[in-house]
Amino acid sequence: MTKWLIALICSAGLLVVGGCGDFGGKLSDEGETSASASGAGLRLDVRSEPGGAAVMEENIIRLTVQDESGNPVETITIEAYLVMPGMFCGRIPAETREVAPGQYELLAVPVMPGKWQAEIAVCSDGNSLTTAYAFKAV
């Protein structure tokens, strides 16, 4: 229910403001289907289904978190938000859940079609890693 309320508030805000101007951004029409980031003793692999995310529906973005040796990292904190680059639409919190050791799902609900970005921050034992994962909502 909370996700739908956030989506409704953001959509209503767009109507009141009269839309948001796009100031650019780099993303192919197909969007990205995988990306990686590493640093601070952590490696984060991100992937989603090709073809874009569905607007106003829960979409799953899969996260794999490993240490320098390739072992799954289980004791972590993940914060994730959805944003539209170059738009004034705020940051929509995204829920994450562990599905297996070192394997997580980010539940993304984009509120309108277009280019989106999941801002992901992973913290484990004082180490942290942040990345932005671009995708398209259709």
Beta-carbon contacts of 12 under 8 Å, excluding residues fewer than 6 positions away, are none
Beta strand 34-39 pairing with 42-47: antiparallel
39-89 per-position pLDDT tens digit: 999 999 999 988 789 999 999 999 999 999 999 998 899 999 999 998 887
pLDDT of residue 74: 86
| Domains, the chain | 2-137 (2.60.40.1930)
pLDDT of residue 32: 55
Rounded to a whole number, what is the largest CA-CA distance in the chain?
50
Residues in the chain: 138
pLDDT of residue 6: 45
Beta-carbon contacts of 91 under 8 Å, excluding residues fewer than 6 positions away, are 81, 82, 83, 119
123-135 per-position pLDDT tens digit: 999 999 999 999 9
68-77 per-position pLDDT tens digit: 999 999 889 9
pLDDT of residue 33: 84
